[in-house]
Amino acid sequence: MKREPKKLDRYFFEYTTHAAKSTVDEAIQRAKAVENDTDKERRLKVHECCACFYLRSKIGGAAMTMQPCASCNVDQMYGSTCTDVLCLACAQKYSLCKHCGGDLGMRIGRRVYPISDVPSEQPKPAGTGVFLLPLKKDHEGQK
């Protein structure tokens, strides 16, 4: 493949300069939004961590997609291939991000996760309830 060189006229320079400035401005706005959690109410309503809510693009392929919740195994229907790890009820129950499954508050020091006791290679039987362990308070189970 061979491309033609860009035509360096006034329009080119103004367009590329504006595009660069918009990219930087948008990055700063997003950084401020995530730092200040500016839309916290709506974020908690959809039960997503700050990364998923403010920063991760959720553009998926245009195909209705069915995926079971990783915890309760109940089928969830999505309008695109951009699916969530958990259903809303399980995300709320275990204080996890519905979309990525990480801790809702991005607490990297969280000691207790609701870990499935079913090895991940084994398919979960359909419709047999919750496989995640009950969520304990973080101070429990330490030491």
Does residue 34 belong to the site contacting Zn ion (CB under 5 A)?
Answer: no
* Site size for Zn ion (CB under 5 A): 10
Window of 4-12, 37-45, 83-91, 106-114 that interacts with Zn ion by CB under 5 A: 83-91
Per DSSP, 55 falls in state I
Residues 87-106 that bind Zn ion (CB under 5 A): 87, 90, 97, 99-100
- State the minimum distance, in angstroms, from the CB of residue 124 to Zn ion: 12
CA 142 – CA 34 distance, rounded (Å): 31
* Separation of alpha carbons 57 and 64, rounded Å: 18
Rounded Cα distance between 136 and 105, Å, is 16
User: What count of other Cβ atoms lies within 10 Å of the Cβ of residue 93?
Assistant: 17
Which residue ranges make up the site for Zn ion (CB under 5 A)? 49, 52, 69, 71-72, 87, 90, 97, 99-100
